[in-house]
Amino acid sequence: MDGTLLDLRFDNWFWGTLIPSRYAVAHGLSEAEAHAVLASKFKSVAHTLNWYCIEYWTRELGLDIPALKREALLRVGFLPGAEMFLRKLRVSGKRVLLVTNSHPTTLAIKNQRVALTQYFDACYSSQPFDAPKENPAFWRGLAAREEFAPQRTLFIDDSLPVLECARDFGIAHLRAVRRPDSGAPPQATGSFAAIDGVAELL
C-alpha cells in the first residue's frame, strides 16, 4: 500500500519529521536528542510486527499516533498514476487483493482520505496474521484465507525483504517499485524487475 499505491512521502515525513518534533516537546528533549532516541527505538523493531503497529508506538512513545495521523490526513495521497491503474485493474476481471503491513487503524484512516479499499476484492493487514509480510508465516496465513496460485500471481511492493519473502513462498511474478517516495531519488531494487510506478504495468 504505502510506497506502492500511496506516496511514501507522507510516512517518511510523519515518522521522520512530525513524530520527532512531537516527541521532543512531549519529553523535554531537543529535536536532535529526539531523533537519536527514536532512531534506536525504530531500529530495534525493524521488520517486526511492532514496527507497523500504531498501538505499540502509542504506548512506546507516549503519543496518540492515530490522532496525529488524522491531523495530517490531507498530506496522504496516491503515487502518480496509481489511481488510474487501480481503476483499470478493477474492471479487468481479475481478483485484486490489497495485502499490507499497514495497521488496520492506519488503513481505515488513510481510506477516509483516498477511498483506496473500493478498488479491491479483499484487503488484508498483516496484524491479524501476527506476522509482517517479510515473515513466511504471513504468506502461509494468507494462503489459508485466499485460494491463489503463486505461480500465476503478480505481487508488487517497494520493500526488498518483503519481495524476497514472497519469492521464497513461490510467487512467480514480482515487481519492485523504484520510486515509492515521490520526493526522493529512486531506490535500488536488487535482482527484482523494477518499475518507477504501477502505471507502467498498464
Task: Give 17-32 pLDDT, tens digit per residue.
Answer: 999 999 999 999 999 9
Cell of 200: 507502467
User: Closest Cα partner for 79 from 158, 14, 26, 153?
Assistant: 158
Section 103-131 average pLDDT: 97
Beta bridge partner(s), residue 59 = none
Cell of 97: 487483493
Q: Radius of gyration over alpha carbons of the chain, in Å?
A: 17
User: Closest Cα partner for 182 from 196, 195, 168, 194?
Assistant: 196
Phi, psi of 159, deg, nearest 5:
-105, 120
User: What does pTM read for this prediction?
Assistant: 0.96
Section 125-130 average pLDDT: 97
- Tell me the per-residue pLDDT of 50-101, one tens digit each, with 9 for 90 and over: 999 999 999 999 999 999 999 999 999 999 999 999 999 999 999 999 999 9
167 class by beta-carbon count within 10 Å (0-12 exposed, 13-18 middle, 19+ buried):
middle
Contacts with 197 (C-beta within 8 Å, 6 or more apart), sequence order: 79, 80, 81, 82, 177, 179
Instruction: Count CB-CB contacts under 10 A for residue 185.
Output: 7
- Tell me the per-residue pLDDT of 138-156, one tens digit each, with 9 for 90 and over: 999 999 999 999 999 999 9
